[in-house]
Structure 1
Amino acid sequence: MPHRPMTPANWALLVATAASFASSVVLNKMLVGHLPPLTLAAARVLLALPFCLAALWLSGSKLPRDRDDRLTVFKVSLGVIAIPYCALAIGQQTIEGGLSGILYSTMPLFTLLAAHLMLPDEKLGARKLAGIGLGMAGVVAVIGPSLLGGLGGHLIAELITLLGPLAYAIATVLMRRSRHLDPVALTAGLFLSAALVLTPIALLVDRPWTLAFDASILGGLLALAVIGTIFPAALNYLLLQRVGATRASLGMFLMPFFAIAFGALFLDERLGAGAFLGLALIVAGSRLVTHVPRSPGAMRGGTLGPTKG
């Protein structure tokens, strides 16, 4: 079935998807000052898990039963949920939400590098190497002031934050082994695996039963789980179905702009010129490596090129 063209409705869906992903960055930042990072990551997963299991039940799908499939789901859950959620929460103890969004926009670059190293049929050409170089120059521009100042807290937080998109990129390549799995079953399996990993760690390290939870914190956690976790995942799945992975990847380029805007609006954040220069270079580099020239068949309504990552 050919993908639909980029109609106004599909553009609106793309923008909504990017904005919803950006909301997770800002909502997470709002909660960082009230909860320890591991507890925040675990709570986000635990609150999102019932929605995933409900979707699994309603769809009639089953969790993966094959041993190899379960092992792949477990590994992928570390990369797309456990490590990114923890890295984001730890990094945001020091850096702004908008800056977190910029650093997360490096994911397409890391995905390409991971595919090059892990897949024999995904080697880098000159154009993609140039795009990666441009994007990494953007990373240097973003964290440049911290580098000049030595190994300070901001640099460490920025590097920890970068572990999120790096882990996500590696897991995206691993996820190719699970293409035969139903998307709803895969999502439920990922959140269940992440919950089994993060919950005992948070209990041991943070002892969350000693923390004070008021209504505003619980409301924020629920918003993060629904608006910032389940909602963007559902929108992204719908977007992939409608326009294909290549066009859907545009959402990653729009996401940091929304993160910056939301950070300024709700958190009164103001980023420096280096952050905006870095964002421009990262977006340009990512667009260069993910761009797929249209073939005559694609212009007549055929499928798009290979997926992002």
Structure 2
Amino acid sequence: MSDQTSPQITATSWLMVATLGLVWGGTFMVQKLALEHLPPLWVAAGRLGFAALITTVIWQMRGGRMFRSDERDWPRLIWVSMLSAAVPFMLLAWAQQYVTSAFTGVSMAAVALIVLPLAHFLVPGERMTLRRTLGFLIGFAGVLILIGPAAFASSGSPLESLGQLACLSAAACYAVSSILMRRLPPLDPIGLSATTLLFGAALVIPLAALQHGAPAMPSAEGLAIVAVLGLVPTAAAGLLRILVIRTAGPVFMSLTNYQVPLWSVVFGATIMGEPLPGSLIWAALLILSGVALSQYGALQRLFFPNRV
């Protein structure tokens, strides 16, 4: 089993989840800049390849050991690695040809709703209470309001239904990988991060070559942007994700999925000059209310430790 028998949510946990929401919310903006220099799959391949390289080097410098106890679970580790990056990257890359970006955003927010019942049955200390369920539903409603009618608009593609199914399957991959990751025996988080990224790179790089052919050498600016994508939202944030899941649990980690679209809209408006939706304030209030309701006990322990 994992290092902790039940989730341990601390002030550091909240800081890590807030950081992940901020970083991943800004990733879309940076990725948009990268797409001016490379085609989509090569952007994904570049960020994964760079992140896998740097994380693997750090892991090997630390001794290259994976499990920290005599207990071994290589089959589950392989599944976690595949479902954390390789499979959902492939599904989303195919699906986004046929679905709207709004639907993709909603499907990623749905990760939290998929995690909730899975954790109830499979993770100690993650029971699905009425308050927690209402909190997650309120947060999801906030995401729907933020995205607006575009969440339900059709792309007009004959393969849209299959594309939507692929998006939801990718969301399920992220949810299941979080559950499996929590249930792994004690291991080195950098080793797990390196393994996950290596699997992802091994899948996406050949796909990029098949789809786009060999990439032209980007400018120094393009290389720098891809390097930033690989270092910050992929390598560093991927390691943070692992640390949150292994300590605070997959349900707490899924709160990130409600923050990402919120920060994405804010960054798009303040930095990229995109229009600010009028629903932003109401959506933010619903998302924050949902987070507070679902994590009421953790917040109470954080701010009023003597009352618990």
Give the alignment's TM-score, normalised by structure 1: 0.70
1:202 deviates by: 2.2
Aligned partners of 1:250, 1:259: CA distance in 2, in Å?
Answer: 15
Code of the residue aligned with 1:124 in structure 2: it is: M
Partner of 1:45: 48
Question: Contact 2:106 / 2:144 at 8 angstroms: preserved in 1?
Answer: no
| Match for residue 23 of structure 1 among 3, 26, 38 | 26
Call closer, same or farther: CA 1:295–1:45 in 2, change over 3 Å.
Answer: closer
State the Cα distance separating 1:4 from its structure 2 match.
Answer: 10
Distance, in Å, in 1 between the alignment partners of 2:301 and 2:266 is 36
Superposition pairs for residues 77-96 of structure 1, below 5 Å? Answer: 77-85=81-89, 91=96, 95=101
| Runs (5+) with no aligned partner, structure 1 | 303-309
Match of 2:221 among 199, 211, 216: 216
Contact 1:73/1:193 (<8 A) preserved: no
Superposed, 1:1-309 pairs within 5 Å as 6=11, 16-32=19-35, 34-63=37-66, 69-85=73-89, 91=96, 95=101, 104=108, 106-116=110-120, 123-146=127-150, 149-152=153-156, 164-207=170-213, 209-211=214-216, 213-234=218-239, 255-274=260-279, 277-292=282-297, 294=300, 299=305
**How many residues of Structure 1 are paired with residues of Structure 2 in the alignment?**
293
The CA deviation at 1:301 is 11
- Which is worse superposed, 64-73 or 138-147? 64-73
Closer, same or farther in 2 for the Cα pair 1:280/1:160, shift >3 Å? farther
When structure 1 is superposed on structure 2, of 280-289 and 159-168 the one drifting more is: 159-168
- The TM-score, its normalising length taken from structure 2, stands at 0.70
CA–CA separation in structure 2 for the residues paired with 1:148 and 1:105: 14
| Distance change >3 Å, CA 88–CA 5, structure 1 → 2 | same
Which structure 2 segments of 5+ residues have no match?
none
Segment drifting more, 223-232 vs 212-221:
212-221
Q: Residues 259 and 159 of structure 1: is their aligned pair in 2 closer, same or farther, counting only changes over 3 Å?
A: farther
Give % identity.
Answer: 26
Q: How far apart in 2 are the matches of 1:158 and 1:251?
A: 21
Q: Taking structure 1 as reference, are residues 67 and 198 closer, same or farther at Cα in structure 2, changes over 3 Å only? A: farther
CA distance in 1, matches of 2:273, 2:47: 24
